[in-house]
Chain A
Amino acid sequence: MVGVNTLREMYEQMVTAREYEQRLQEAYLEGKEPAFDISAGPIPGELHLAAGHEASAAGVCAHLRDEDTVTAPHRPHHIAIAKGVDLDRMTAEIFGRETGLCKGKGGHMHLFDPDVNFACSGIIAQGCPPAVGAAMAADKRNEDAVAVAFLGEGAVDQGAFLESLNLAAVQNLPVVFVVEDNDWAISMPQPRITDVKTTAQRADGFDMPGIRVDHDDAIAVYEAAGDAIGRARDGNGPTLLDVQVHRRMGHFMGDPQTYRPEDDQERAKRHDSIERLAEDLREHGVDDDELAEVRDSAEQRVADAIEWAREQPEPDPAAAHEDVFVDEPTAASGGDD
């Protein structure tokens, strides 16, 4: 059974993620209103927000340690926060600053924090093979670290995902695939792109356990993830975890969502896993003051991170040429001068 402290921690991760993205959204829209110009403002480029996905990240990452690896897709903030990625440097990265996690070269879809073994890929399903690789490394070194690959339900038709399931299964590797099913792949609803009813069923084809958590509930995710991660850590191989979440917003900022039935967004908003967890906490005797305290401190943490990020220097344009190699080629081996 999940203890009240764990519940409180999950709640904290979830409200931090929600608050973070609300503040980020405001910063993102600076310079982009009234006319939306994706290259304007302090955060140019795409921005995929994860409001409605928080329960899956919090429930899964509650079982992870720093040495466990997580790979995240194009919608990574809630996962990064739950994995313990440095919030200040992550924010500076999203603002494209020199002191960001990746010196401003990755941006919001491509966050890398080796301190907590967190990495992203903006290419659909392409975080799966590296997660298998991290699990392979742990296995070869006889460490009990595990790897978790997060992806969307739209990504499960991609070769990299299916090949990774097979490789992980046949090698019995300590990896868990977590599919966040928000019903949409940009404008494409799931029934348009697959005949398979639930992603969990896909595991059958690889003879691995496939578990579906069919409501957006942090405790249910926590319990299912505990089994899956425990199995991986104990050397009993991979699991596919299929978690229902909700997309409360557009696919990315600026998405007109004209393809989406009007009541669908309302439906998504009605299922708020944060409210649900608050309810659970009250049942565990945590009172409203305490919940408010958690929210206040999350707000402060987020405000501080954004303030810090905004003060950070822009990268020197010359730095664009750095980091192509760890060992920069010398002129003799083919430099540019």
Chain B
Amino acid sequence: MAKTESDPGTAGADRELTMSRAMVDAITSEMHADEEVFYMGEDVQDYGGIFDSTQGLLKEFDRDRVMDVPISETAYVGAAVGAAQAGMRPIAEIMFTDFVGVCLDQVYNQMAKNTYMSGSAVNVPMVLTTAVGGTYNDAAQHSQTLYGLFAHLPGMKVVVPSTAYDAKGLMHAAVRDDDPVVYMFHKRLMGIGWMPAPEGPKTPVPEDDYTIPIGEADVKREGSDVTVATLGLHVHRALEAAEELAATSTSRSSTSGRWSRWTPGLSSTPSRRRADSSSSTRTTSPTASPAR
């Protein structure tokens, strides 16, 4: 297995990946390393995931490890819960996050609560992957992000990558985590041919495995005047806005902010800052810290 570091940064990485390639890269590596990791979802075999979340996996693994399943989210998301409680490390995909409605019980009453309710007699080391977000006029049943819905479920860890670097490190961390993790990828950031991504999510990505600690926000830009805590697509929008403001600001003040890869997790401690920052800037701790 490739060596694992915690959050090594992009220095020295000589390949750039889209977010979807980085996500699949981590899944592939985890599946090679551990036979107990498998992927279930609709159209994840031959199609490779509607939003490229499993593109190429079928070349590496058999159909019993990359599984197309019936359009029965309650059954297969719940089956992931059961397989996880049996000690496996399943990854189950809900194609659009808006579809969680049809299987919400398995998500919030089983996946999120079984650890607590069993007094840790069981745990649920699974990952629920799901595409989020709009920007392409797909209306209210196919466009939400629902970050808050998941983040407010006690027992659930939620990660939201905003770059390819995040996407890989957070996937490694999610699969290895002994708690259930919801991995929410924004369609507009994936680098899908038919949905052009903004500049930004495509980043250098180290070849070796690395994890990014869940529950810590990332500082995307240092500054002293404004703090913007955001996630997913809006990290890039906020960074763009900061560039614009910095360019137009007077010499008297520099206008910039701190930007986050937001990984609202279950840390009972406030999230640590990744970068040194002056005392005038506020930390960007997750607002959702469900009790544990």
Within the complex, which residue of A36, A110, A126, A185 is in contact with B102, where a contact is CB–CB below 8 Å? A126
Check: A109 CB closer than 8 A to any chain B CB. Answer: yes
Whose C-beta in chain A lies nearest to the C-beta of B47? A187
**B198 CB–A CB distance under 8 Å:** no
A322 to chain B, nearest CB (A): 14
| Least CB distance, B283 to chain A, in whole angstroms | 27
* CB of B138 within 8 Å of the partner chain: yes
B221-253 vs A, CB cutoff 8 Å, 1 = contact: the mask equals 000000000000000000000000000000000
Contacting pair B47 A105 (CB below 8 A): no
Could you say which residues of chain B place their CB within 8 Å of the CB of A193? 68-71
B43 touches A38 (CB 8 A): no
- Least distance between B67 CB and chain A CB atoms (Å): 10
A185-B95 Cα distance, complex, nearest whole Å? 13
A254 touches B136 (CB 8 A): no
Q: B136 and A185: CB pair below 8 A?
A: no
- Chain B's interface size range is 20 to 34
In the complex, the number of residue pairs spanning A and B with C-beta atoms less than 8 Å apart equals: 89
Interface size class of A (residues with CB under 8 A): 35 or more
Q: How far is the CB of B183 from chain A (nearest CB, A)?
A: 21
Question: In chain A, what residue has the closest Cβ to B195?
Answer: A38
Scoring A residues 175 to 194 as 1 if CB is less than 8 Å from chain B, else 0, what string do you get? 00000000001111000111
8 Å CB interface, B64-78 against A: 68-72, 74-75
Whether A124 pairs with B43 at a CB distance below 8 angstroms is no
Q: Confirm or deny: A294 has a beta carbon within 8 angstroms of a beta carbon on chain B.
A: no
Q: Give residues 161-198 of B contacting A (CB, 8 Å).
A: 193-196
- Name the segment of B3-11, B139-147, B260-268 touching the other chain: B139-147
Known: A123-B98, A187-B46, A188-B42. A194 touches B137 (CB 8 A): no
A287, CB-defined interface residue at 8 Å: no
The reply to whether the CB of A114 lies closer than 8 angstroms to some CB of chain B is no
B45 on interface, CB distance cutoff 8 Å: yes
For residue A36, which residues in chain B have a CB less than 8 angstroms away from its CB?
Answer: 193-194
Q: How far is the CA of A19 from the CA of B71 in the complex (A)?
A: 31
Q: Is the CB of B68 within 8 A of A123?
A: no
Closest to B188 in A: A39
A159 touches B74 (CB 8 A): yes
- Complex Cα distance, B137 from A96, in Å, reads 9
CB distance from B220 to the nearest CB of A (A): 25
**5 pairs of residues in contact across A and B, judged by CB atoms under 8 Å:** A45-B139, A46-B142, A159-B74, A160-B102, A194-B70
Q: Knowing that A37-B196, A124-B99 are A-B contacts, what are 4 other residue pairs whose CB atoms are under 8 Å apart, sorted by A's residue number?
A: A39-B136, A45-B137, A105-B140, A188-B42
Residues of B within 8 A of A (CB): 42-43, 45-47, 50, 68-72, 74-75, 98-99, 101-102, 135-142, 193-196
Question: What is A's interface to B at a CB cutoff of 8 Å?
Answer: 35-39, 44-46, 96, 105-107, 109-110, 121-126, 154-155, 157-160, 185-188, 192-194, 254, 258-259
